[in-house]
Amino acid sequence: MELHYESPAEFWDQAVPLGNGRLGAMVYGAVAREHIQLNEEGLWSGGPQDRVNPDCRENLEKIRTLFRSGDVEEAQRLAVSAMSGTPFTQRAYQTLGDLYIDFFDGMPGEPQGYSRGLDLRRAVAWTRFRAGEREFERQYFISRPADCLALRFRASGGGRMSFTCRLDRSRHIGFTGRAGGETLVCSGDQHGIGWAMGLRVLASDGAVSALGARLTVRDATDVTLIFTAKTGIGADPGKSPSEGLAGQVCASLSDVRARYPDAGALLREHEADFASLFDRVDLRLSDSAAQPGLDALPTDARLRRFAAGEADPGLAALYFQYARYLMISGSRPGGLPLTLQGIWNGEFKPSWDSKYTININLEMNYWPVEVCALPECAEPYFDLLRRVAESGRDTARRMYGCRGFVAHHNTDIHADTAPQDEYTPATYWVMGGAWLALHIWEHWLFTRDMDFLRKNFDILEQSVLFFRDFLRENEKGELVTLPSVSPENSYRLNGRKVNMCQMPAMDIEILNDLFRAYLGAAEVLGAGALAEEAREMLSKLPKLQIASDGRLMEWGEEYEEADPGHRHVSHLFGLYPSAQISPEDTPELAAAAKKSLEYRLAHGGGYTGWSRAWIILFWARLREGDRAYGDLRALLTDSTFENLMDTHPSKGRPRGRVFQIDGNMGAAAGIAELLVQSHNGRIRLLPALPSAWPEGEVRGLRVRGGGEISLAWSGGRLTSLTLLARSPLEGTIVYGDAERPVRLAAGESIHWKAGN
């Protein structure tokens, strides 16, 4: 299973990504001048900041009073001054730099048979071409066990190579030079964050030399280069943050050279490590109406063909596995979670700072981890959440006079929880930490990991505690959030566009899930000092409302929407990721959600990749497989780069679009949801199978309750099922109108095959 192309990448978003959770690279595959853009997860624009606005607490009730009196615009103006962070922006994730390799003496001017690609299962990128009898092959991979990027260049048929290597970080390098005769190293400080990167020869049958800031290899037929990087915050104010990092880089490269006798050993260990995660799930989709041999077509050609309306079910399977590939490559235990771009960012000033947006984007990044059998990849998410909960306690106290913890709609490497930006449709929203915390309960539902739940229960409790202090009663005696927004939408009040509100539908839905998750966890653990208060708050939350036109209401009043086709569909949170709304249990709300979704799409919604991915999931939950497939087709047609990375419109960018990884992850979760759903005690088989996928099989998906499931189908009908209990599992299997209770001990399984 691979991506492949017949020409080098011209743009960053045509290059192919590599990663080991910490180091990232984008490989262009050029013949004469290879370019590899580099990242390291810890290189951000600066160190920690105290950004809590000292004027918020004393102005909070003034903001609430202004809103209740109907002066929403004045309440917003006061919030901008009194609630915004000081300074108003958090830190940005930055590119590490670039590796340039200039070939001379032996490279063909016009190569023949050029191809490049990315093998997803092996996590190896490659470039191949020839010149007459001479053949050239380049391999690239980033090893997790060896913690380095490896580049192996080979020539055969009488071919030889000569090239020079250079590391670059524009004007942001403090030192560049050599360490010995076969190692390049450069380092610098980024406003309190030190960094260093280095490149050396692991093995070569050619002559190696270093001059100035370049490494040269001459007359070689087989060369392997290794690269690594380190970052860190300076602990000693009297020393440079980068002090010692260059030495660590050189020591790491020397250690790799000592541990691995050749490139083959390095590659074999890397492949085994990656396959141990990637091979857990397999997906095959087919349709007899599709042209055979589509896997042999270049990936960009397949995308163009699919956009023209041709059938290619295998492209959806490739896209699904590509998302799993990105997850394994970008998020590993001990590291940081995926940013807006994962660990693949080529800019010093990326869109939205390429940090952690937590009014959907970071959460969406991790929607597929459980169902796609990659729970270890969520560890960085939970590590960041624990730090967010810690810093959020200080923010809750100083901003709102509340106990517990709060986070707003963004955070960064330092777990900053003060409001980000001065953007009234998004900034003044206190639900970010609560949404992040819901993944604790989701992880428990899938894994039944008692140690994990026990370790993280306090985060749920601290979130509940914050809302115990923050919520206020309205005139109906209901508990509401104020101030709040429905991210990142606006409505019209007295003909003017405003954003601030109290208790939008999304807040109701998140708090319903938070209180229920806390109560569920408290029951499992036999703990929970706030259980009675959580039950009381749950009973006093407002109910979701259906508007006069039959749509689910986004706000507490039937306001006129300023942007009816808005990219956020926040009020449908209860449909997905929550399961509060379903066709079986809440048919009226499900019908209202469907009408809201149709309305949003009719007015131009779904114009970003991540938004389209969310819409796929909504249709899946509504059992509308063909409509979900239509939006998957739209995502692949309108919101996918040639290298299968998801896109978001961005003014001023070279091609008017920028990569955001959340769409890749959300769509992968959506594809899984079309095949298997598991919530509210039911495991639904093929609940929303598109007619475009009449034949197929999937192996290894996970379900809530602690199970692993494999399915096959033909003619759109289920033909086989295997359900393995990874922990004691009890529930109901649902297929069509048929239901079957199931109760399995850990390690037990059931198998079913049509005709038996």
Sign, CA dihedral 587-369-573-651, equals: negative
410-411 and 356-357 beta bridge pairing: antiparallel
Please give the average per-residue pLDDT across 498-520, as a whole number. 98
Please give the average per-residue pLDDT across 710-722, as a whole number. 96
Residue 292, pLDDT score: 82
pLDDT digits (tens, 9 = 90+) for 358-394: 999 999 999 999 999 999 999 999 999 999 999 999 9
Residue 373, pLDDT score: 98
Residue 238, pLDDT score: 66
pLDDT(256) > 70: yes
pLDDT digits (tens, 9 = 90+) for 138-174: 999 999 999 999 999 999 988 899 999 999 998 777 7
Query: Measuring CA to CA, which residue among 353, 407, 351 is closest to residue 384?
Result: 407
Query: What DSSP string runs through 58-104?
Result: HHHHHHHHHHHTT-HHHHHHHHHHHTS-SSS----B---EEEEEEEE
94-98, 246-250, 459-463, 663-667, range with the lowest pLDDT: 246-250
Please give the average per-residue pLDDT across 325-340, as a whole number. 98
pLDDT digits (tens, 9 = 90+) for 396-422: 999 999 999 999 999 999 999 999 999
d(CA 600, CA 710): 35
Q: How many residues does the chain have?
A: 756
pLDDT band at 541 (very low <50, low <70, confident <90, very high): very high
Please give the average per-residue pLDDT across 502-521, as a whole number. 98
Residue 756, pLDDT score: 64
To the nearest 10°, the Cα dihedral for 267, 269, 274, 276?
Answer: 150
Residue 218, pLDDT score: 93
Domains and CATH numbers, the chain: 2-44+93-278 (2.70.98.50), 282-313+685-753 (2.60.40)
Residue type, 170: S
112-119 and 124-131 beta bridge pairing: antiparallel
Please give the average per-residue pLDDT across 552-579, as a whole number. 96
Residue 380, pLDDT score: 98
pLDDT band at 650 (very low <50, low <70, confident <90, very high): confident
pLDDT(132) > 90: no
Residue 393, pLDDT score: 98
Mean pLDDT, the chain, rounded, equals 95
pLDDT(175) > 90: no
pLDDT(288) > 80: no
Residue 754, pLDDT score: 82
Please give the average per-residue pLDDT across 118-136, as a whole number. 94
Q: Which residue carries 């349709």 as its tokens? A: 287
pLDDT digits (tens, 9 = 90+) for 616-629: 999 999 999 999 99
